[in-house]
Structure 1
Amino acid sequence: MTVSVFDYEVELGACAAGDRSAFHALYRHEAPAMRALALAMLGEPEHADTVLHETFVLIWRNAAGYSPTIGTARAWMYSILRYRARAHARHHQEAGDSSPENLPLPTLTLRTDATADTIPGALAALPAPQLEALLQAYLHGGDPARIAALLDRSEPDIQASIEASLSHIDEAVRA
């Protein structure tokens, strides 16, 4: 069986050179997951769609500015998405719209049949406080002070929970 690995760096480099087919490949490959994250962050499908569109416009316009020295191409793309989502939320908060801070915490349904050596399995094995902290860090940009206030826990507890969660996942998938 041949496993195809999507090469974000190659596709992003092709985008920097103006290759529209590479841009379409990036979009087809990553837009569903990016939209899901935007929806989890913003809570409204139309807001998520707007942020997704803005994100891909910025990816196209700024692809030449990507450098592997700052991280992976995929991480770079997601940093743009998170930045746009936060800016969008701030704008709507200032306009009096509902903001992510006022939305209920996201819920996550984990597969119970996932094996322990997979990321879903490792997530399913986490204690609820660690999982909550990790989800909030991923969905809202990792600000421990904000997460502590949101979850009514101390900031050191949040930081310890996130670190323990990441260590657990790393150990599980390396096993």
Structure 2
Amino acid sequence: MATSPPFDYEAALLACARGERFALRALYEREARWLLGVAQRIVRDRERAEDVLHDAFVQVWDHAASFQPALGSARGWIYTVVRHAALKAVREPGRLQVMDVTELTALSDAQQRDDAADEGRGLDADSLERCLQRLDAPRRACVVHAFVDGYTHEQIAVRLNTPLGTVKSWIKRSLASLKECLS
């Protein structure tokens, strides 16, 4: 049984940067259902999530040339664009809604299953939960508030009654620990 070669996200972004529309279409066809799920979990409304996804793909098209492979994967960059667009949408006054860790692990599990198929890695929601549990409670809270709840560093500092610089350091170090634990 022949398998298709892995999708080259970096090449697709480079093609977008050159103005090759087929590449954006290929990215959309490959990732839209997952990215819509990311947006929908954050904004909690399918119609708004579809708007967020559209806006995010416009940003991907407009800013593909700014992607820097040395800073991370192309696929991760695309997910970050969508995530930031969704967080921006919920930061409108009175619109912030919260996800819990169970939802994060479900979302992560879906994304990681696709990652595992692409990269041959066996990551799952249990691994993410195990790695999160290794973090000290305040550091874990910072990560969850930042990446699940969508809070800014300033909001986290106020919520945890912790200096802003400490919150930023905790998040940076915690992400490095999570990356190491999940690799």
1:165 Cα shift? 5.9
Q: Which consecutive unaligned segments of at least 5 residues does structure 2 have?
A: 107-121
Q: Which residue of 2 aligns with 1:163?
A: 173
Tell me by how many angstroms 1:145 deviates.
Answer: 3.1
SS at the partner of 1:99?
A: coil
TM-score (ref. length: structure 1): 0.66
TM normalised by structure 2 equals: 0.64
The offset of 1:35, in angstroms, is: 2.0
- Residue 74 of structure 1 corresponds to 75
Contact 2:43 2:90 in 1 (8 A): yes
Match of 1:137 in 2: 146
1:63-89 C-alpha deviation (Å, 9 max, x unpaired): 344444565433432343244334433
Could you say if the C-alpha distance between residues 89 and 121 of structure 1 is closer, same or farther in structure 2, counting changes exceeding 3 Å? Answer: closer
Between the aligned residues of both structures, percent identity stands at 28
Query: Aligned runs of 1:1-175 on 2, under 5 Å?
Result: 4-68=5-69, 71-90=72-91, 92-93=92-93, 98-100=94-96, 103-108=97-102, 110=105, 118=123, 120-125=125-130, 126-127=132-133, 129=137, 131-139=140-148, 143-150=152-159, 152=160, 154=162, 156=166, 159-160=169-170, 163-164=173-174, 166-173=176-183
Q: Tell me, which stretches of 5 or more residues in structure 1 are unaligned?
A: 112-116
Structure 2 residue aligned with 1:114: none
Q: Deviation at 1:162?
A: 6.4
1:19 & 1:31 partners in 2: Cα distance? Answer: 18
Tell me the CA shift for residue 51 of structure 1. Answer: 0.7
How much has 1:11 moved relative to structure 2? 0.7
CA contact (8 A) 2:156 2:167 kept: no
1:33 to 1:160, Cα distance in 2 relative to 1, 3 A: same
